Amino acid sequence: MAPRLVEVRQNILKHNDVVARALRARFDANHVRVISLVSSPGSGKTMLLERLLSILHKRHRVAALVGDLATENDAARLARSGAAVRQITTGTICHLEAAMVEQALDGWALDQLDFLFLENVGNLVCPASYDLGEHLRCVILSVTEGEDKPLKYPTIFNTADVAVITKIDLASAVEFDRAGLERNIHTVRPGMRTLAVSAKTGEGMGELVAFLEHGTA
């Protein structure tokens, strides 16, 4: 059984890569910068994105696609920022695939956008294997999740471009060890850029926005 699964999986991944490459070419041709967010459930990904959309919306044309197994709650929540938002509900599929992104973009004028965010399903494992055509992949980790996560989920850290540490307003309540977390991140991915923010208090948000607007990973 196992070899047959591997073969099917490889074909799916190969097919995904083809679609992702075409998407990236389309994003480039339309000068839209595409940023994906991956994390565990509950890292504060949607709240962070809500703040980012509100800030970026003032001076750029921004939109977002949001993946979840079920519910359209996040799209409704994010639409309050004024940005264009569409929900992708994946059913029982635990990650976004490039073809889902392609389908969700149907009818959207990409040349009218500066930034497009792709919020993946909350999962630190499976999204690692699927290129979505994004230019920048942010792995998001809250201070409450434990400093050992990069060692236990190395693939997602290896495929991401930048690590964003969320909920730093809770750092002292959970005795968060930033140096320890960064040591673990750099064990898996030497030199990876890290940024720390609180979407609740706004701490670090300016730096993150500047990085998304001007920085390279």
Nearer to a copy of itself, 122 or 133 (CB): 122
Q: Give the span between the Cα atoms of 27 and 114, in whole angstroms.
A: 10
Q: Measured between alpha carbons, how far apart are the two ends of the chain, in Å?
A: 40
Q: How far is the CB of 5 from a copy of itself (least distance, A)?
A: 5
Q: Give the span between the Cα atoms of 102 and 132, in whole angstroms.
A: 9
Nearer to a copy of itself, 1 or 109 (CB): 1
- Does residue 189 touch a copy of itself according to CB under 8 A? no
Q: Which of 21, 28, 31, 42 binds a copy of itself (CB under 8 A)?
A: 42
| Residues forming beta bridges with residue 165, ordered by sequence position | 141, 196
Nearer to a copy of itself, 16 or 81 (CB): 16
Which among 4-12, 105-113, 190-198, 205-213 is the span making contact with a copy of itself, rule CB under 8 A? 4-12
Q: Tokens 């459930």 correspond to what residue?
A: 41
- Does residue 154 touch a copy of itself according to CB under 8 A? yes
- Does residue 198 touch a copy of itself according to CB under 8 A? no
Tokens coding 214: 């001007």
Which stretches of 40-153 are assigned E, i.e. beta strand? Answer: 62-68, 84-89, 115-119, 136-142
Measured over all CA atoms, what is the biggest interatomic distance in the chain, rounded to whole angstroms?
Answer: 53
Q: Which of 36, 81, 120, 142 binds a copy of itself (CB under 8 A)?
A: 142
- Does residue 13 touch a copy of itself according to CB under 8 A? no
Nearer to a copy of itself, 4 or 58 (CB): 4
57, amino acid identity? H
Which among 26-34, 109-117, 137-145, 203-211 is the span making contact with a copy of itself, rule CB under 8 A? 137-145
Q: Give the span between the Cα atoms of 72 and 55, in whole angstroms.
A: 22
Q: Give the span between the Cα atoms of 8 and 12, in whole angstroms.
A: 6
Please give the C-alpha separations between residue 157 and each of 45, 139, 170, in angstroms, as whole numbers. 16, 7, 23
Q: How far is the CB of 111 from a copy of itself (least distance, A)?
A: 31
Binding site for a copy of itself (CB under 8 A): 1, 4-5, 8, 11-12, 15, 40-44, 68-71, 73-74, 92, 94, 121-126, 129, 141-142, 144-146, 148-149, 151-155, 167, 170, 173-174
